[in-house]
């Protein structure tokens, strides 16, 4: 009862924007946009880049891609990075979040062979950003593991922790003096639950309930090792901040039945707690309820031990506090209900035992999983404040998908509604330092290919030059960055966008 009343009050309070107060983003609040290497770079085998798991997966299974377009060429940012930076200057953003392709700089996956042409590419991109006072925010790993490391078990192999640490060391050595914001991993749940549990995401291992948990432990430990490495060897010299980006969508109970409210709590422990607890909780470790549930199920299924691997006391210590900021990737909200039918087991879905849905009256995007529910961002922010004691947050992704076309009014609406929710969350005590829109431009949306467009800029994939054009949302975002307020009725006079002169960037402590 209590939960539902709370949901309704919050929904109407936020959806209706019942007060008329004008809320403003602080002057030092940072605005940026994001992309990732596989999704934009192209040049998949150019200049000695090694093969990665997405190259292999989509080459071997072209039929899984909605429109058949893989990342071989993508936006060709490898050759068009200067145009990308020009777009960032047009938007007037403070930072650009992009990722480094591990196999572009280490074609063998290991540190024995450094590909200087790969290093040069990222060096040129970073220099171009700095030249125009745009702060690089670099993700070390955004889903594209070198294939050779996958052949050795990938993230299910505990040695992956060392492989990642070696890779991180090279990246910190090469770019540490220029980059102040680092993100170790993008969305461990996608890497592991989708890639090792499922079959629609590379490396498509499809061993849910086992491989996904092995992967989660190793990915989190790899993150922590890279964090500690930066702390001991580079922090004093370079004074940068290191965080991790987690997928933090929100979940609410579908109704007030006790079984659904309890299932929602459990779902949050599996979707948020599993990744946040080891780093941000006082006691560290995976959440107790998750450990208990997987152990109980595993024993019932005839396993000798829990399918969720344990963290030793040293590992718990290594992980606890291993982030200067929480990178929050937030897109949508789900309603949760206790599963009525039996789910295939073993699997993480069976361990959680819920069904997810989204109300049909929430605005739909071009992606089946993505509907607009701005109040969810507000509730998510308050939840993490309460459970994890006000962590420093950077929104490292948030976005909306459409079809082709420059007049993307549904993206503009979604953006404005979520900004209002974000401003309220900040007013109510959330320590959000910045916001990063996904994405700068249309790109290869994994197995959706280019059938779902997330860009503030449209990309013409048919053209040789992969021409980019500003959408309406780019103009609205640019204006918002300048004005720092959400103007519900502001419309540009025309679709022209020009370069904004930026002041020298002032670093924000994370």
Structure tokens given for 155? 């993230």
Catalytic entry in 52, 147, 187, 189: 187
Q: Is 97 assigned a catalytic role?
A: yes
Judge whether 410 counts as a catalytic residue.
no
3 state SS for 279-348: HHCCCCCCCHHHHHHHHHHHHHCCCCCCCCCCCCHHHHHHHCCCCCEEEEECCCEEEEEECCCCCCCCCH
Task: Confirm whether 381 is a catalytic residue.
Answer: no
Please report how close the Cβ of residue 142 comes to ligand BGC at its closest, in angstroms: 6
- 442 counts as binding ligand BGC under rule CB under 6 A: no
187 binds ligand BGC (CB under 6 A): yes
Dihedral angle of Cα 361, 364, 368, 372, to the nearest 10 degrees? -80
Contact predicate 396/288, CB 8 Å: no
Q: How many CB atoms lie within 10 A of CB 16?
A: 8
Q: Give φ, ψ of 137 to 5 degrees.
A: -120, 110
Least Å distance between CB 139 and ligand BGC? 9
The distance of closest approach from Cβ of residue 503 to ligand BGC in the complex, given in angstroms and rounded to an integer, is 30
Only one of the segments 185-193, 297-305, 412-420, 473-481 lies at the binding site for ligand BGC (rule: CB under 6 A); that segment is 185-193
Within 13 Å and on the Cβ side, how many CA atoms surround 508? 20
Active-site annotation holds for 331? yes
Binding ligand BGC by CB under 6 A: which of 184, 322, 329, 332? 329
Neighbours of 493 (CB within 10 A): 6
The span of 146-154, 168-176, 184-192, 234-242 binding ligand BGC (CB under 6 A) equals 184-192
Residue of 10, 115, 184, 186 interacting with ligand BGC (CB under 6 A): 186
Q: Whole-number minimum distance, CB 454 to ligand BGC, in Å?
A: 6
- Based on CB atoms, which residue is closest to ligand BGC, 95 or 174? 95
Choose the binding region for ligand BGC from 114-122, 182-190, 260-268, 355-363 (rule: CB under 6 A). 182-190
CB nearer ligand BGC, residue 71 or residue 92: 71
Task: Tell the residue number behind the tokens 């490495």, with chain if given.
Answer: 229
- Quote the CA–CA distance of 234 and 345 in Å, as a whole number: 45
d(CA 202, CA 108): 18
Stretch 33-52 residues interacting with ligand BGC (CB under 6 A)? 36, 39
- For residue 187, indicate whether it is catalytic: yes
Q: Which residues bind ligand BGC (CB under 6 A)?
A: 36, 39, 186-187, 190, 247, 329, 397, 438, 445, 454
Q: Residues with catalytic annotation? A: 97, 187, 190, 329, 331, 397
């Amino acid at each position: 009862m209590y939960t539902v009343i709370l949901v309704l009050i919050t929904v109407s309070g936020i959806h209706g924007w019942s007060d008329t107060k004008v809320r403003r983003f602080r002057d030092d609040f940072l605005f940026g946009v994001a992309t990732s290497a596989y999704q934009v770079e192209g040049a998949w085998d150019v200049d000695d880049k090694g093969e990665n798991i997405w190259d292999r997966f989509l080459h071997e299974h072209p039929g899984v891609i909605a429109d058949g377009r893989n990342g071989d060429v993508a936006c060709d940012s490898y050759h068009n990075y200067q145009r990308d930076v020009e777009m960032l200057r047009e938007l007037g953003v403070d930072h650009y979040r992009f990722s480094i392709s591990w196999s572009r700089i280490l074609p063998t996956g290991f540190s024995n062979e450094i590909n200087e042409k790969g290093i040069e590419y990222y060096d040129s991109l970073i220099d171009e950003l700095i030249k125009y006072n745009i702060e690089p925010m670099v993700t070390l790993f955004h889903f594209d593991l070198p294939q050779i490391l996958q052949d050795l078990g990938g993230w299910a192999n505990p040695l992956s922790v060392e492989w990642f640490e070696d890779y991180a060391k090279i990246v910190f050595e090469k770019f540490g003096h220029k980059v102040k914001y680092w993100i170790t991993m993008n969305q461990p749940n996608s890497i592991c639950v989708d890639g090792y549990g499922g079959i629609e995401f590379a490396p498509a291992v499809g061993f849910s309930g086992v491989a996904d948990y092995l992967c989660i432990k190793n990915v989190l430990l790899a993150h922590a090792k890279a964090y500690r490495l930066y702390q001991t060897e580079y922090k004093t010299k370079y004074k940068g901040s290191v965080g991790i980006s987690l997928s933090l969508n929100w979940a609410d109970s579908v109704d007030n039945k006790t079984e659904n409210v309890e299932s929602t709590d459990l779902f949050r422990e599996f979707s948020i707690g599993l990744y946040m607890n080891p780093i941000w909780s006082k006691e560290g470790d995976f959440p107790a309820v998750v450990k208990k549930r997987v152990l109980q199920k595993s024993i019932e299924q005839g396993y000798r031990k829990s399918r969720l691997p344990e963290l030793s006391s040293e590992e718990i210590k290594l992980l606890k506090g291993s982030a200067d900021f929480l990178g929050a990737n937030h897109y949508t909200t789900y309603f949760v209900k206790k599963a009525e039918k039996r789910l295939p087991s073993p699997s993480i879905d069976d361990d959680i035992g819920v069904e997810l849905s989204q109300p049909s009256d929430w605005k739909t995007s071009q992606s089946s999983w993505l509907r607009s529910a701005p109040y969810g961002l507000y509730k998510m922010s308050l939840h993490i404040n309460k459970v994890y004691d006000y962590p420093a947050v950077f929104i490292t992704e948030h976005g909306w998908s459409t079809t082709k076309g420059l007049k993307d009014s549904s993206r503009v609406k979604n953006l404005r509604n979520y900004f209002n929710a974000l401003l309220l969350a900040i007013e109510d005590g959330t320590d959000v330092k910045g916001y990063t829109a996904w994405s700068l431009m249309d790109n290869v949306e994994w197995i959706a290919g280019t059938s779902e467009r997330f860009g503030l800029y449209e990309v013409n994939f048919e053209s040789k030059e992969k021409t980019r054009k500003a959408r309406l949302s780019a103009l609205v975002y640019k204006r918002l960055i300048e004005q720092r307020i959400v103007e519900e009725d502001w419309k540009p006079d025309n679709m022209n966008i020009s370069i904004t002169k930026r002041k020298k960037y002032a670093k924000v402590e994370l």
